Structure 1
């Protein structure tokens, strides 16, 4: 069946995935002081990470406008939209407003907006699920039902080298970030109904890394039916090492690795890893 998947640029994809799933990305705009960076395929993420490290002020982000989304909704196909958690960004509200305007003013068609309750590779897995289901002979509403259940069950965790950017952006208490830095505590963070919360504090990166691997076993089940997504910010070696450790313990149906785009890098910062399953 002919469908179109639209996502915001927090949905981290390889070029192959983007082509195969035909995902149309609505870019967020990232700001360092007065300089704006459009988070699309033309963004030099490595350069952006360097610029971010040198910028004294906290990075700011702007979600896609309703107009940006309306353009993506054009065409005859049914449209499924995947956005960042509505607790982290205005992207979801913007996509819903665009849907309402489109249906009122432009034309009647099927559009559904999913709040991923996640970010980065969590969105990637949701988009992938929509794509897989579209290959079966099921209705648009059945896809909505199955993907909504998938989102509710999905777990997102992340391990960051530094909490500075999360704190600067107001996503985390600056005091927590400072204490973590002083005592070389590496917090494992998790998604909690779309918000970010501290899951566990571990001293030292190696221990935290292995603890994240263990957490999969504690929080997940039926791995043979699931896909593990790993997103990394400029640290492919860590992502590959993580995959290796996971393969020793769990039999996931598939494991995918993606590099973070600009938006995910803004919060994860260099060396950050996000996993979802």
Structure 2
């Protein structure tokens, strides 16, 4: 049976140690400042991104990998007889998935499978780890794809946005919404549904109140949780992330891993964003 090589993109926000341990290949998205295109996680870090935004007052644009980027990444593994499985950022948020499909058409039929996570950040990481463990247990590509289709609807992803500024500058909320949010100190909790980001709660007041609501939202479903793995992902919010990690471990008994949001996720959500991502049990 051919070896299955698992690919993800830089929005999966898996811990770097896991990427190396499980030999997951990452195709980076791009962060674009003017005429300068920088590979997410390779040419620029979130700290450097925030510094440039602070200095210029302008947010970067983000761009998907091109079909050529995917062809370049996949070719060495196909040439040596492997099968490739790529788990992508939501097709509702980016052209990354479509570009990977275009690239796959350049290879022999059946050698590459492209799976749309319909999610973002470490919620993609949850699917990747399901695929990794299945592949290591001897599952073939068709079996892994079936598993991913079964698990995908069970993935839960919610996060607290500390400021509406980044969503506003990125064109994801109107000027009126930004003004009202700033004036009333509204801190939205965002969830992912069918590949899109939608409001879950709007919390008025201090950030701590919003983080507490995020935790409560997760713990309300703890009996439904798959106890295998929970992610707490953050962008410059490590202190809060550690508190959430400890509490979730105590309350659920699950493995709770910390992850840091990459540049593309950070450029849309902003600093001090924090999220909880897990899978519910599947039959």
Q: Deviations over 1:89-145 (max 9, x none)?
A: 110111111111x23xxx344211111111111111111111011012222111001
Do 1:83 and 1:92's aligned partners in 2 also have CA atoms closer than 8 Å? yes
Do 2:67 and 2:102's aligned partners in 1 also have CA atoms closer than 8 Å? yes
C-alpha displacement at 1:216, in angstroms?
0.8
C-alpha displacement at 1:201, in angstroms?
0.7
Do 1:80 and 1:111's aligned partners in 2 also have CA atoms closer than 8 Å? yes
* Residue aligning to 2:91: 86
1:56 to 2:50 alignment: no
TM-score, length-normalised on structure 2? 0.90
CA distance in 2, matches of 1:42, 1:263: 12
* Residue aligning to 1:231: 233
CA distance in 1, matches of 2:187, 2:42: 31
TM-score, length-normalised on structure 1? 0.92
Do 1:224 and 1:251's aligned partners in 2 also have CA atoms closer than 8 Å? no
* Residue aligning to 1:156: 157
Unaligned runs of 5+ in 2: 279-283
* Residue aligning to 2:46: 45
* Residue aligning to 1:133: 134
CA distance in 1, matches of 2:133, 2:239: 29
Secondary structure in 1 matching 2:48: helix
Q: Deviations over 1:190-227 (max 9, x none)?
A: 00100111111112211111111110133454435341
Secondary structure in 2 matching 1:88: coil
C-alpha displacement at 1:55, in angstroms?
2.9
CA distance in 2, matches of 1:201, 1:108: 47
Q: CA RMSD in A?
A: 1.8
1:71 to 2:72 alignment: yes
Aligned length in residues: 272
Q: Out of 44-53 and 189-198, give the one that drifted further.
A: 44-53
Q: Deviations over 1:226-268 (max 9, x none)?
A: 411111112211110111222342232x111111221111112
Would the alpha carbon gap of residues 271 and 136 (structure 1) be closer, same or farther in structure 2, given more than 3 Å must change?
Answer: same
CA distance in 1, matches of 2:52, 2:218: 34
Stretches (4+) displaced over 4 A: none
